[in-house]
Amino acid sequence: MKKIIPTVCFLFSFVAAYATTVSRIDIIGNKRMDTESVRLLADVKTGTNINSEDVNQIVKKLQQSGYFSSVSAKMDGNILKINITEAPVIAQVTVEGNDEISTEDLKKEIRVKERGTFDETEIGADVSRLLTIYQRKGFFDTRINPQKIQLEDGRVNIVYEITEGHPIYIKDISFKGNNEFSSRTLKKELLSREYAWWRFMAQFDVYDEDRIQYDAQMIRQFYLRNGFVDVQVKVYEGKFTPDRKYYSVVFDIQEGQRYKIGELKIKNPFTDVDNQELNSALKINTGDIYNIDQIETTIGALRAVVAAQGYSFVNVDVIPDKDDINRIISMIFEIQKTNRIYLNSINILGNVRTFDSVINHQLGIRAGDPFSLQEIESGRQKMMRSRYYKDVQMVPTRIEGTNLMNLDVKIEEQPTVELSGGIGWSNINGFMIDAGIMETNFMGRGQVVQLRGSIAQYTKQVLLSFTEPYLFGRELSGGFDINYTMYNYGKLGSFGYDRDSLSLGARLGWRLTDNWTQMVRLSAMYDQNYDLHAVGGWQAANLYTLGTNFKYHNLNTDFKQNTHTGIVANFGVAYTGFGISTETFMRYNGEITGLVNFLDNRWQLKSSLEFGYVQPFGDDYISRVYRYFLGGESLRGFQIAGIGSRNWAYRNYALGGLWKANGSTQLNFPVFIPDEYQVKGFIFADYGIVGKPPKDEYEFPKNSGHYNFIDQDLRTSAGVGVFWNTPMGPMNFSWGWPLKMNKYDREQRFLLSFETQF
């Protein structure tokens, strides 16, 4: 007991020596803030025992409040004296020297606010954020100098003085290790583009590190769609030109081997779900080239089959079995029962421009839907493919204690304006140059607006089109087209007419199945037609038309060989008249093309068939410009409009027919040139028939007893050719020889066409 008493006394004496009771608090230096507010920020009261460490904590609290530029405190006897210098109040925040980025966009990143207090650390953070924005735009030489302008009454103005410098453009994009696909093919998968002066609105040719990383991901997805499951894509460190205006980008690709699909199995835990129906839902078959997109489509199809039986909460897990020796991947699609988890809410973040409704359509999921990571990833991929966004992140969060999930969709948008142009030559158009501008996310609504014009030797055209992809908030596209075209066909082949045409059209389209789509179109066409051998000069024609067409598309493409397997088709019917058209008729059109590739996909057999029929009402006359003609690219070996009925006096004057049927069979094959040059040879056989013209055309002049050459005989031809997919664009050379023809037909043995887009 005697030992404890001295120890307690010592501790009491220690506390008494270092802790003092505050009897008064003096605040020194405050001008705008009252004393009581400072005391509350310091969190100290009279009567409190404090020591030196407590005084230090008071100083820290006041400094961290952000209201003071300097703070000191000390005990003077029992009096706590706090000396402060109030931080200046920011009167105004301005940005100067910015031309490439608007002041509004820059101020969104500035955290320093007017009527707030001045803080050096916040100013530095603002500068870092602004520099990041400029670097994303390709301005790596930007300098930002923040200025503090002292005013009266402890106020300051903050000015961010910006020297933007010049953007860093992508000089060239190259690839290393791409043995299976040409650089030209891979560049089509990229958002980034090499510098060109006409891309000044799109910004895709300005270096952006985030976009380059996304491009690397897109290249990897391309390889995964074409069988290369082990592909690795890295971005090499590029280099600046000496003047630091341009940057070279190199993608390093390790392709690996191409794999095919092996054995496919489905593990089905549900006894009332038909296995045969599940097998029919598979979108891939044994022997197909591995395609990540088709596998994801298969997962969705299997879930749909199971959901149709009332099992909404399932997961489909793909279990691969990779055989490196035979280069095949067998897969088990294991359908698993899962707990019932629902989406509680979907929160879209970061969309400054794109409407939430557009993003919701792209996602394809709604609050209240069953939670599925597969559906969420599918929605993310669809959003990225729209090219509206630089980045999309899906962040699901479980609500504790419930079976509900919230989903945050974090997006970063990017410009969606595209400029393009091209030059080319063909027998039907002569030399051609075209240019256009397209906005694929107009006003953030997902709408597509396009303005395009072309000038060619025989045609001139201007087109304005608008498309709303989600009309009335549904999976229904709608739009309009305004098209003005001048046809100078008086000296082209055997056409023998000129035509100026203004067309106004409205359309609705929707998807019927995965492969079938339908479109309905209402149009008004105002023409001025000049038939070189008709009486009366220019003739006006007004045509009002309502029609519909059905399209079928089911193709698998080998991008390396540029060959396909599948079928594409288009069938349509249209009525022109309504009692206000200058001519009244029905028109029926159809075309179907089948393709198959074989022998390592280097060979391709293609067969196509087209037909058309215009049916006049009663004795209505169908003007020559609205009839059918064959020749040139539609029947090689013959001149454009080179077959069919013909004027007896002007044998270079084709009369055209009220119907036609033509087709072609072509075999493409490799030549003795490495595949990387994308040169193919081909042989072909073409055939075609043009029906008779209206009976009024049987005599020339009418009722003169001089009969024109009228026929609807079959013509055939055969030939050879070379297709070269050059770095500048595709070129097509063909030589055709008529096998069956009439004496008044017009031959043309050689055809050439090429086109380049930039």
Contacts of 697 (CB under 8 A, 6+ apart): 645, 655, 708, 710
Q: How far apart are CA 78 and CA 21, in angstroms?
A: 6
End-to-end CA distance of the chain: 98
What's the alpha-carbon Rg for the chain, to the nearest Å?
37
Binning pLDDT at 50, 70 and 90, where does residue 266 land? very high
CATH of 169-254, one of 3.10.20.310, 3.40.50.300, 3.90.180.10, 3.40.190.10: 3.10.20.310
Tens digit of each residue's pLDDT (9 = 90 or more) over 584-615:
999 999 999 999 999 888 899 999 999 999 99
**Per-residue pLDDT at 664 exceeds 80:** yes
| 699-730: b (≥16 Cβ within 10 Å) or e | ebeeeeeeebebbbeebebbbebebbbeeebb
Tell me if residue 298 falls in helix, strand or coil: helix
Q: How far apart are CA 325 and CA 236, in angstroms?
A: 31
pLDDT above 70: percentage of residues in the chain: 94
Helix, strand, coil % in the chain, rounded to nearest 5: 20, 45, 35
Amino acid (one-letter) located at 263: E
pLDDT above 90: percentage of residues in the chain: 37
β-bridge partners, 260: 289, 328
Residue 116: the pLDDT is 72
Tell me if residue 392 falls in helix, strand or coil: strand
* C-alpha dihedral sign at 255, 261, 267, 273: positive
DSSP symbol at 628: B
Residue 757: the pLDDT is 60
Q: How far apart are CA 541 and CA 407, in angstroms?
A: 57
Most distant CA pair in the chain, distance: 150
Dihedrals φ, ψ of 35, to 5°? -60, -40
What number of other Cβ atoms are within 10 A of residue 17's Cβ?
9
Q: Which two tokens stand for residue 294?
A: 């088709």
- Helical ranges in 137-244 per DSSP H: 183-187, 209-224
Q: How far apart are CA 668 and CA 233, in angstroms?
A: 32
Q: How far apart are CA 204 and CA 196, in angstroms?
A: 10
Q: How far apart are CA 392 and CA 275, in angstroms?
A: 37
Q: What is the DSSP string of 353-380?
A: SS-HHHHHHHH---TTSBP-HHHHHHHH
Q: How far apart are CA 224 and CA 684, in angstroms?
A: 34
Tens digit of each residue's pLDDT (9 = 90 or more) over 251-262:
999 999 999 999
**Per-residue pLDDT at 756 exceeds 70:** no
Residue 156: the pLDDT is 82
Of 59-63, 155-159, 346-350, give the lowest mean pLDDT range: 59-63
Q: Give the mean pLDDT of 484-513.
A: 90
Structural contact between residues 200 and 225, judged by C-beta atoms closer than 8 angstroms: no
Q: Which two tokens stand for residue 572?
A: 């349509």
β-bridge partners, 163: 143
Q: Which of 575, 645, 659 is nearest to 611 (CA)?
A: 659
Tens digit of each residue's pLDDT (9 = 90 or more) over 44-54:
888 788 888 88
Q: Which two tokens stand for residue 488?
A: 């100078």
Q: How far apart are CA 668 and CA 366, in angstroms?
A: 47
Cis, bond preceding 701 (omega within 30 deg of 0): yes
**pTM of the complete model beyond 0.85:** no
Identical fold for domains 4-86 and 260-337, yes or no, is: yes
- Tell me which CATH homologous superfamily contains domain 342-413: membrane protein fhac (3.10.20.310)
Q: How far apart are CA 435 and CA 462, in angstroms?
A: 10
Q: Which of 361, 397, 394 is nearest to 380 (CA)?
A: 394
Give CA angle at 42 (40, 47), nearest 5°.
Answer: 80
Q: Give the mean pLDDT of 504-530.
A: 94
Long-range contacts of 84-87 (CB under 8 A, 24+ apart): 84/27, 84/28, 84/29, 84/30, 84/38, 85/29, 86/29, 86/30, 86/31, 86/32, 86/33, 86/154, 87/117, 87/118, 87/119
- What mean pLDDT value characterizes the chain? 86
Higher pLDDT, 560 or 98: 98
Q: Are strands 89-96 and 155-163 parallel, antiparallel or unpaired?
A: parallel
Binning pLDDT at 50, 70 and 90, where does residue 416 land? confident
Q: How far apart are CA 575 and CA 586, in angstroms?
A: 5
Q: Which two tokens stand for residue 577?
A: 């008249």
Q: Which of 104, 126, 132 is nearest to 208 (CA)?
A: 132
Q: How far apart are CA 172 and CA 170, in angstroms?
A: 6
683 CB-contact burial (10 Å; exposed 0-12 / middle 13-18 / buried 19+): middle
* C-alpha dihedral sign at 363, 364, 370, 374: negative
Residue 482: the pLDDT is 97
Q: To 10 degrees, what angle do helices 120-136 and 209-224 make?
A: 50
Q: How far apart are CA 595 and CA 45, in angstroms?
A: 89
Dihedrals φ, ψ of 260, to 5°? -110, 165
**Residue labelled with tokens 């020749």:** 631
- Considering 19-23, 37-41, 403-407, the range whose residues carry the highest mean pLDDT is 403-407
**Residue labelled with tokens 């961290």:** 64
CATH architecture of 89-163: Roll (3.10)
Structural contact between residues 370 and 433, judged by C-beta atoms closer than 8 angstroms: no
Tens digit of each residue's pLDDT (9 = 90 or more) over 287-345:
999 999 889 889 888 988 887 776 767 888 899 999 999 999 999 999 988 777 888 99
Q: What is the fold, at CATH topology level, of the domain defined by 4-86?
A: Ubiquitin-like (UB roll) (3.10.20)
Residue 586: the pLDDT is 96
Q: How far apart are CA 698 and CA 646, in angstroms?
A: 9
**Per-residue pLDDT at 120 exceeds 80:** no
**Residue labelled with tokens 């997961």:** 315
CATH architecture of 260-337: Roll (3.10)
Dihedrals φ, ψ of 213, to 5°? -65, -40
Q: What is the CATH number of domain 508-757?
A: 2.40.160.50
From residue 141, how far is each of 131, 144, 165, 241, 245 by CA, in Å?
A: 9, 10, 5, 14, 10
**Per-residue pLDDT at 385 exceeds 90:** no
Tell me if residue 58 falls in helix, strand or coil: helix
What number of other Cβ atoms are within 10 A of residue 472's Cβ?
7
Residue 283: the pLDDT is 87
Structural contact between residues 519 and 511, judged by C-beta atoms closer than 8 angstroms: no
64 CB-contact burial (10 Å; exposed 0-12 / middle 13-18 / buried 19+): exposed
Q: Which two tokens stand for residue 253?
A: 């690709």
**Per-residue pLDDT at 112 exceeds 60:** yes
What number of other Cβ atoms are within 10 A of residue 212's Cβ?
19
What number of other Cβ atoms are within 10 A of residue 105's Cβ?
12
Q: How far apart are CA 386 and CA 414, in angstroms?
A: 11
Higher pLDDT, 723 or 473: 723
Q: How far apart are CA 65 and CA 43, in angstroms?
A: 12
Residue 310: the pLDDT is 65
Domain extent listing, the chain: 4-86, 89-163, 169-254, 260-337, 342-413, 508-757
Q: How far apart are CA 189 and CA 195, in angstroms?
A: 17
Q: How far apart are CA 506 and CA 733, in angstroms?
A: 38
Tell me if residue 724 falls in helix, strand or coil: strand
Q: Give the mean pLDDT of 677-692.
A: 93
Tens digit of each residue's pLDDT (9 = 90 or more) over 4-38:
444 444 334 444 445 788 788 888 877 667 777 77
Q: How far apart are CA 147 and CA 143, in angstroms?
A: 13
